[in-house]
Amino acid sequence: MSARCARAAEGDAGDWRTPRRIAQPRFRNRLMAAFREGLREAGYVEGRNLAIEYRWAEGHYDRLPALAADLVGRKVDVIMANSPPSALAAKSATSTIPIVFRGGADPVGDGLVASLARPQGNATGVSFVADELTAKRLEVVVRTGSAGWGDCPAVNPNNPSAERIIRVVQEAAGTKGLQLQVLKAASESEIDTAFASLVQLHVGALVVGADPFLSSHREQIVALASRSAIPSIYAWREFAAVGGLISYGASLTLHFAWSVITRQRSSRAPARRSAGRAANDLRDGHQPQDRQGARH
């Protein structure tokens, strides 16, 4: 195994003066530390018997195809995709390099795998069913007595799962006689603008969907929800950790400490590795999550 390690800088090179910008690389570093710890437990140590090529889209999903193509061009042994958008970009870039994904979406519905039992192709991984729990989060908000006219799911319109999330929540709201206002945001300024409109609309509650960009801006979202006095529920525990009212879902940090990537590499036969679902660790009370390529 090669001990050569080529890595990209893990910090941002932009303006670090505001707390919002400082929080994002710090959180990303915590996730990567958990990821490397999981690899270490499986016997892989970066810089010793493992080299990792880091690539970050910084919430700009349009950059993902080029990043995936770059990793494929470097002939990495396996690609770990930390979100559904990055997994789809990797799958489009290669049909031979094994891809291990993690995320909260539906891997079958997104076209990543043929089935959970037999993924086929070169992709396998773990889904934490975060998207499928969006309707349950709406139900939790209703039980708290916070929901009312104009309840609002928050989604990133650039996420391939956005329309499905909206459809699921609309169906759930219809059975309860609720009307929805959809918050769509794909940038910091759009989050600010969206919250200003929510205040004017007097929405009853906010349901924040699972999305790498939204997760990376959790401090901004939680602060605006608190300032606007809008009861909110979130997909990941890390939102509650920074002051969010309720989270219903798993912990991002915890699930970065997995070692499925080593099983994928040793198998070299993704079609025989099931794409599992993890719905554990559900409780009340967070990236950019893009992609890394690994070499051994």
- Asked if the model's pLDDT at residue 126 lies above 50, the reply is yes
Q: Per-residue confidence at 38, pLDDT binned at 50, 70, 90?
A: confident
- Determine contact, residues 269/27, Cβ cutoff 8 Å: no
CATH number, position 261: 3.40.50.2300
Cα-based distances in Å from 131 to 11, 181, 296? 29, 18, 33
Can you give the pTM of this predicted structure? 0.68
Query: Do 234 and 259 reside in the same domain of the chain?
Result: no
Weakest mean pLDDT among 26-40, 200-214, 230-244, 260-274: 260-274
Domain span at 201: 134-247
Per the prediction, the chain carries an average pLDDT of 76
Query: Do 152 and 236 reside in the same domain of the chain?
Result: yes
**Which comes out higher in pLDDT, residue 268 or 196?**
196
Cα-based distances in Å from 127 to 132, 164, 213? 10, 16, 18
Query: Do 260 and 160 reside in the same domain of the chain?
Result: no
The answer to whether residue 10 sits within a structural domain is no
Query: Do 60 and 140 reside in the same domain of the chain?
Result: no
Could you tell me what percent of the chain has a pLDDT over 90?
27
Provide the domain count of the chain: 2
Q: Bridge-partner residues for 291, per DSSP?
A: 55, 81
The answer to whether residue 271 sits within a structural domain is yes
**Identity of residue 47:** G
Q: What is the dihedral of CA 158, 161, 162, 164, to 10 degrees?
A: 150
The answer to whether residue 3 sits within a structural domain is no
Structural tokens at position 122: 């070169």
